[in-house]
Structure 1
Amino acid sequence: MDRGVTLAFSPRSAAFVSGYRAVAHLRRGDLCDVYDAWSEEREARCVIKILRPDRRAYAADRRRVVAEGELLLSMTHPHIIRAYEVHEDPIPFIVLEAGSEALLTRLIEQGPLSLRDLARLATQLCSALGYLHRRGYLHLDLRPANVSYDRGHARLVDLSLARHPGAAAPAIGPARSASVEQAHGQPQSAATDVWGLGALLYEAATGRAPVGEDRNGAQVPPLKRNGRLRPATASIIIRCLSASPEERPSLAEVARIFAPLV
């Protein structure tokens, strides 16, 4: 729980969350505040993702929240967070299933993942990304803050930047999580998500991002052999981070390398 920010639902705003009780403020993202909540109708915990007060005057941000909610409602996959409801007015918010609190970011802060956890993370995210791609979407924002991992189960918990392939759009998230083509506003493809997956696995394996915020001329440091990595796993992660999209492996190839280690 984020104890540094006090952001409770006020009585004045209670109408739009009728039927829900805020338990705790979990985190503040680039676009939304995220709350642990209680659903009176379901008699169960849930997560409410609501547009930040300082972003509510911007129509584009309002549309992003609603679009993400509608996309999540259309998705049914064990490794993608499930949405229950999406509301547009007066303030956009999404009601999600509980379980998005155990972010990978916090786990990595405790140290690099074991090889088995890394393999589970890789294979499960390959499955989720493959599902997204078959549905005609790219994720485009793979980073530890957008993935939960709890007791061996990984889930994508944020699809706010998801879009159809081909569009040449600049990266909106942190520069260190953007592929070369995103950083340069070039057309994006499934290989763009492979780069994001590689960057995430690199950070999970080492505790550090493969590149810094200033990407100009940045080279990905080699993955040294250690107790957490084998030559094949280190090699596939580095291949994911190839500057050229054509040189990156497919999701299926990444999954094949990690599957025997689960």
Structure 2
Amino acid sequence: MEPGTRRSCIVKLLRPDRLHKTQSRDRLIREGTLLTQLCHPHLDLKPSNIVAQAGKATLLDLSLAQAPGPCPAGMGTTEYMAPEQVAGDRVDTPTDVWGLAGVLYRAATGRRPFPASEHGRWTTG
């Protein structure tokens, strides 16, 4: 991130009194999908940041998203971080592909791809 630039996170919620309105839900899903398509790499793909509804997935928590380029070492959730995130190297779309692969592994096996120790370092297992 360039000095002097601001990081922002956009969150849009559906009011509880409108949960039953299909049109409102569909519009929120469309807007969320558009936002994620226009966004920079997410950099924190993990099961708790993905909500699936009506056959569509929506990414939550864009607080770590940034333009492609170097990132601070260790930025993200250890179990789902790509090697370049761990090292603080250049991040881009492939970084999110790594995180998504970790999420799919967890969904398929029920196990974390790289379990973290209490100190945030990877362990085998």
Q: CA separation in 1, counterparts of 2:78 and 2:50? A: 18
User: By how many angstroms is 1:184 displaced?
Assistant: 1.1
- 1:205 match: 108
Q: CA separation in 1, counterparts of 2:110 and 2:34? A: 23
Question: Structure 1 residues 129 and 171, CA, compared in 2 at 3 Å: closer, same or farther?
Answer: farther
Structure 1 moving runs of 4+ over 4 Å? 127-130
> Matches of residues 23-172 of structure 1 in structure 2 within 5 Å?
67-69=8-10, 83=12, 96-97=13-14, 131-132=37-38, 135=39, 137-172=40-75
Partner SS for 1:97: coil
Q: CA separation in 1, counterparts of 2:35 and 2:92? A: 12
- 2:122 match: 215
CA radius of gyration, larger in? 1
User: By how many angstroms is 1:98 displaced?
Assistant: 5.7
Q: CA separation in 2, counterparts of 1:191 and 1:167? A: 14
Say whether the 8 Å CA contact 1:129–1:139 is kept in structure 2. Answer: no
Structure showing greater relative contact order (alpha-carbon pairs closer than 8 Å, 6 or more residues apart): 2
What are the ranges of 5 or more consecutive residues in structure 2 without an aligned counterpart? 1-5, 17-32
Question: Structure 1 residues 98 and 139, CA, compared in 2 at 3 Å: closer, same or farther?
Answer: farther
What are the ranges of 5 or more consecutive residues in structure 1 without an aligned counterpart? 1-62, 73-82, 84-95, 100-126, 222-262
| Matched AA of 1:153 | K
> Which has the larger share of strand?
1
- Give the TM-score taking structure 1 as reference length: 0.34
Say whether the 8 Å CA contact 1:168–1:187 is kept in structure 2. Answer: yes
Equivalent residue for 1:195, pick from 93, 98, 107: 98
Say whether the 8 Å CA contact 2:42–2:62 is kept in structure 1. Answer: yes
| Matched AA of 2:14 | E
Q: CA separation in 2, counterparts of 1:203 and 1:160? A: 23
Aligned residues: 100
Say whether the 8 Å CA contact 2:115–2:122 is kept in structure 1. Answer: yes
User: By how many angstroms is 1:174 displaced?
Assistant: 2.3
Q: CA separation in 2, counterparts of 1:128 and 1:205? A: 27
Identity of aligned residues (%): 39
Say whether the 8 Å CA contact 2:74–2:86 is kept in structure 1. Answer: yes
User: By how many angstroms is 1:131 displaced?
Assistant: 1.7
Say whether the 8 Å CA contact 2:75–2:86 is kept in structure 1. Answer: no
Say whether the 8 Å CA contact 2:44–2:99 is kept in structure 1. Answer: yes
Q: CA separation in 1, counterparts of 2:36 and 2:59? A: 12
Partner SS for 1:148: strand
